[in-house]
Structures are given as structure tokens and as C-alpha cells.
Amino acid sequence: MVDRGASVGSFGARRRLQRLGRAPPFSSFPREILRELAAEATGRTARRGTVLFRVGDGAAAAYVVDRGVVRISAVTRDGRSIVFRLAGPGDTFGLTSLFDDGLRTAEAAALTDARVIVVPSRLLLRHVERSPTVASACLRESAARLRIERDRRADGLAGDTRARVARVLRDLGAAHGVDVRDGVLIDVPLRHEDLAGLVGSSRETVTRALAVLEARGFLRRTGERFVVLSPPRLSSVPTG
């Protein structure tokens, strides 16, 4: 379902303005430009599993998550899944391709029922060309994304799989966690394949690592979700 752009006086546009105003790089845009983007943007709801764009698609828009979680991933030539990140409320995705060759290099799919704000690339690029402030904000956000991904890949080479899984769970708890009686619930449905893609390992290896962590009392599984037990212990999981 898509809500068409409207004047900033409409409820939908006010909601989009509010969300964009808190999401980098849009939060650094001049107010008048932000208002124009909010009026021209659309809102789209996506049921769990809906693919928002695929590898090779034209980059027609940038997106901001309004609610829910979107998985950004790709498949390597040898068929291995890589999960770049899980974008939650307030996160921007699909931005870098607008400034590259205009083709998507990853897939974006709703990991939960979600709602996203769709900002047309033609409008955004026009302001990038005209406004140094907008161009600088987009450059900083793209650079920050690349730096985070580089650091995460470097972390993925350090320690054994069990320690890497523990780090990923700790980070997911910080980003998507809800406090519960015995720890932090990662409020996102996670398949072993998703964790393997985030960790940079095989599904089988991650499954074994999760079994050890659960047996040692570092976490428990509840349905499709994990509860991180005693996060200080989890952050220093033994590698033996």
C-alpha cells in the first residue's frame, strides 16, 4: 500500500516530515528542502517478506524506515548470503546507489511487517546538485555507512565464530532490544541464515555456536527471537 505525496499540511506529509527530520542525512538538510521532500515523498507499507528492491534494479529512491525492520543483503558468487545490516525505525537505506552507477548492489526485504518513507531520487539528486549542505550531509552518511561496514567486516575476522555470534547478538540487542525479566529480547525474527550472513560464516557453524551459547546460559530462544541473558557475560564469551 502506498500513500501518495501531498502538501505538508496533510497528516501523512507531517508524519514524513517528522520522521525525515530525525533520520540522517535528511536531519541535516535545510528546513525548506526537508519540507519539499516530505511533501513529495510517499509512504509504503510492506508485509513481512516483501522485497523493496533487488540487486540490479535501478536506484529510483532512498528509503527511511518508519516502523518495522528491513534486511539489506546480497548473495556472493559462490551462493553465500551476506547480511549488511538490519535497518530499523529512523534508519536510511538505499542512498549510496544513487551516487554510484544508479544500480542496486544489494536486496532490501521487509524482515517484519514494515512501513517505509520513499524519497524519489530525481528530487534528492536535484538538491544534491544545488545545495552544498545537502551534498555534504549525503556524503557524510554514505561514508559513515561504508566505515561501519568495513569495521564490522574487520571484526568478523577477529575471534572464532562463537565470539563473533556473541558480538552480533550484543549489537542487535543494543539496536533492537527490549528489556525483559531475564535479559534483553532482540525484537526481530532471526533465522540462523540471517545470523550467518551478519557474522560471515556458514549456517551450520552458526547453529553450532548458538547451541553452545544457549547451553552455557548466554542466551535463550523464544520462537523466532532470542533473549540475551546477562549481556556483560555475553560480551566476553570464551573462545574455547
Q: Quick one: fold of 2-156?
A: Jelly Rolls (2.60.120)
User: Residue 234 pLDDT > 60, yes or no?
Assistant: no
* Lookup: cell for 193: 541464515
Q: Are 172 and 214 in contact (CB under 8 A)?
A: no
Reading the block at residue 203, the C-alpha cell is 549456517
Please, is 122 exposed, middle or buried when counting C-beta atoms within 10 Å of its C-beta (0-12, 13-18, 19+)? exposed
Task: Identify the DSSP state of 113.
Answer: S
Q: Which of 55, 53, 8, 56 lies closest to 33 in space, CA to CA?
A: 8
Q: For residue 24, is it left (φ>0), alpha (ψ between -120 and 50) or beta?
A: beta
- Look at residue 18 and tell me whether its pLDDT is greater than 60: yes
Residues of the chain with CATH 2.60.120.10: 2-156
For residue range 66-125, what is the model confidence (pLDDT) as tens digits? 999 999 999 888 888 899 999 999 999 999 898 877 899 999 999 999 999 999 999 999
CB-CB contact of 94 with 59 (8 Å): yes
d(CA 115, CA 20): 13
At 233, the pLDDT band (50, 70, 90 cuts) reads low
pLDDT of residue 128: 95
138 or 80, which is more confident: 138
Nearest alpha-carbon partner for 62 in 141, 132, 119 = 119
Distances (CA, A) of 110 to 24, 32, 43, 136, 205: 20, 31, 14, 29, 25
Q: Cell 528491513 sits at which residue? A: 70
> Are residues 228 and 186 in contact, defined by beta-carbon separation less than 8 angstroms?
yes
CATH architecture of 161-234: Orthogonal Bundle (1.10)
For CATH 1.10.10.10, the residue range(s) in the chain are 161-234
Q: Residue 146: its pLDDT value, please?
A: 86
Predicted TM-score of the model (pTM): 0.88
pLDDT, mean over the chain: 89
C-alpha cell of residue 183: 535479559
